[in-house]
Amino acid sequence: MPAWWYDRPALVDLAILFLASLAGLVWLVGWLDNPQALTSNGVFKAMTVRDWLADYVKTPLDPSNFHYYPFVAFLCHLLDLTGVQTGDPRRQIALINCLFGALSLCIVYLMVRAVTGRRDVAWAAAAFHLGGAFFLNLSISNEDIIPSYTFLLGSMALAAVWFVNPTPTRIAIVAVVFALSWLFEWRLMFPTLPALLVAVTLAPAPIWKRCLRVVVFLAAMVGTAEIAMQLWGPHNGNVGTVRDLLWTGKAVESGWAGFASRKLVFLWVGITEYLLGGKNLGDLAYLSALRTEILVATVFIALVAIGWLTLLRRDVGSLNARVLAAVFGVNFLAGEFFNAYSQPQDPQMQINVMIWLTVAWAAIVAAATRRYGPAVPRIAIVLAAALVSYNIYRMAPARGADGQWRAALSNVERHADPARTVFLVHGFEPFVSETFYEWRGDWNYFPKLGPAPSPKPKIKLLAFVNGPIHQPGASGEELAAELSRQIGHAMDLGYEVVADYVWELSEANFTSYLATVADSSKASTIYRTLHVKFIGTPFFVDPVAGAFFRLRRAD
């Protein structure tokens, strides 16, 4: 291990980096006042964390997020004890992510300094990583990916440094840290496992010894999962065997799964928005608004990729370069293939796959520094500061929305009594996440719904996306018929059915808005059927939530 890992200047650097980035990220959380600005998924995770806080014994484990909920609930409990955002895990998770975001930057610093041997390049790499739009946004949001990402980044950094000389102990440590990452978020296993297995076989040795390294890695990884499962014992929701942790099948049989040509555009947007802007594009109708940003990011990423590949080709005989390329390059290729099958534009699907960009940028800066001198890392830090500034600027329109939504929900409640109303929504808009958290929603309420009024759950939703997501094999006619039946049943029970602004979208816009989960033919069928069977009349308009429409049967 290099001596600088534990010498005083290195420790001072790490302390400064950690404390400064943590303070900056926490400040951004307060400044933005909108912990679900990037994606509302974290709100639903916060609801489960709230269940863990209420009953740590009976709340079930989730095999796909095996350690995430209990671990984060414990940290939220510590924040409760210190009086920080007491009783509000939705905000507390954002602060916890700040902590792990700062730790991730320290990992980047250590890895780049170990690989390049340069302190200034390590600082430039950490600054660049901080500036990446998805990393920056996710580090101040309540999405659930950053803790698992930090463990993943740690395992990849150790592999990049240690797999040049992969002793059994080193291999086992990397495997344990890697297992901890996917025990927090199961899907992280797939793009990175192939990368680590390729990397661990590169160091010269007989074939049998290289195969033995793979066996050691897999044994340590599976053993870690087995120990985790055994430690939970008979806890509610614990899996029966370790195989149930290795394959949970999360979202495989859903509308998110499957290859489609339209996903290639979302994939391109996800890759570019990772760096610039950080928008979670769910509607291709807004693609033109991001055109300049996407093109600039495309050119920059392409140039970085070409530059790194040139360096790798020049250093093809270097084991260090080949290990680095295997860890981060294979992770990228496998990850984007996986993303093309699932949710390619989603920030949490891109953040673990695009780590290569920081590594490639650091390699280019290091090579330029050797040729042109120490001014290069300083220029790189200035560019990183500009990147951070731009991506913060792109956050600004969402600033303060959290407080605005509190007032909006009160206004909605004044117009539409939740006990007597079923809302028809798209399913991904902020209205859904905000009401679900504040009014304690339940997606499984409908089969148990009794006559109006019904105070529980306070928010009752029917969503256009539910059918395409949960019944991906159903036709547009079948999905439209089922949603029409649900609307009619709610009306028969005495409820008013109130649609939000999605009702007044044109067919083209509605189809575009459903593009992440349904093809255009299926979405068009749903739209046409609903607008034939029901008529929506303007009900009220909220400045934040938008327009609402009262539905009635067309006949």
Q: How far is CA 537 from CA 128, 374, 419, 548, 550, in A?
A: 50, 66, 21, 9, 5
For 200, the token pair is: 């661990």
What pTM does this model have? 0.94
In DSSP terms, 538 is beta-bridged to 549
**Per-residue pLDDT at 38:** 81
Give 10-residue mean pLDDT values along the chain (555 residues).
60 95 97 88 92 95 96 97 95 97 97 95 98 97 96 98 97 98 96 97 97 98 97 94 94 81 93 96 87 97 98 93 97 95 93 97 97 96 98 94 90 96 94 92 92 95 94 94 97 97 95 91 96 97 96 92
Residues with Cβ within 8 Å of residue 6, at least 6 apart in sequence: none
**Per-residue pLDDT at 555:** 80
Q: 176-185: string of b/e by CB count within 10 Å (b at 16+)?
A: bbbbbbbbbb
The alpha carbon dihedral of 11, 12, 15, 17 has a sign of negative
Cis ω before 453 (30° cut-off from 0)? yes
- 153, 108 in Cβ contact below 8 A? yes
**Per-residue pLDDT at 7:** 65
Q: Where are the domains of the chain?
A: 3-398, 401-553
